[in-house]
Structure 1
Amino acid sequence: MYWGFSPPEVPEPTFLENLLQYGLFLGAIFQLLCVLAITVPMPKAHEAEAEPSEPRSAEVTRKPKAAAPSANKRPKEVAKKRR
């Protein structure tokens, strides 16, 4: 009797199984990149360049303009003339 050890017969993975395996692998890499992007601080170049320049006082202190009256709200005089 020969009691040799042979590997069990495993069927070849199908196309969909391969697609699922690689998709899960790429998804895991994407998640790791997202976690690293959140945890690793990046230097902000635009803030460093904005500090030496002069503050824009005219643009910063400008108040927003009042909203224009809407089209459905007419002055009372115009409504009285049409009666």
Structure 2
Amino acid sequence: MASNLDFSPPEVPEPTFLENLLRYGLFLGAIFQLICVLAIIIPIPKSYEVETEPSEPRSAEVTRKTKATVPSANKRPKKETKKKR
């Protein structure tokens, strides 16, 4: 009975090129996702900000933009009614 047991490892086929490509692509995608999540969680101080003073102060007239009157979507032009005879 003991002579009938086969303890050799099962035969596993060699992975193909596409299977390897898929496996490494999934690893790279997982690493990219971890980096993105860590970038959201860990705040990075912005020490490179440089405060610059405007060389020429702008007047209120330049910064103020003119707004064109836009009819609101709720207001529809009144339809002309036909005159009764």
Fold match, TM over 0.5? yes
Q: Deviations over 1:15-48 (max 9, x none)?
A: 000000000000000000000001000001244x
- Residues 63 and 4 of structure 1, relative CA distance in 2, 3 Å threshold: same
Aligned positions, number: 63
1:63 and 2:63 are equivalent in the alignment: yes
Could you say which residue in structure 1 is the equivalent of 2:16?
A: 14
TM-score (norm 2): 0.58
TM-score (norm 1): 0.59
Query: Over aligned residues, Cα RMSD in angstroms?
Result: 2.7
Structure 1, unaligned runs of 5 or more:
68-83
Mapped to 1, the partners of 2:59 and 2:9 lie a distance apart of: 75
Identity of aligned residues (%): 60
Could you say which residue in structure 1 is the equivalent of 2:46?
A: 44
Structure showing the higher helix proportion among its residues: 1
Which SS does the other structure have where 1:45 is aligned? coil
Mapped to 1, the partners of 2:37 and 2:59 lie a distance apart of: 36
Structure 2, unaligned runs of 5 or more:
68-85
Mapped to 2, the partners of 1:17 and 1:37 lie a distance apart of: 30
- Structure 1 runs of 4+ aligned residues shifted over 4 Å read 59-62
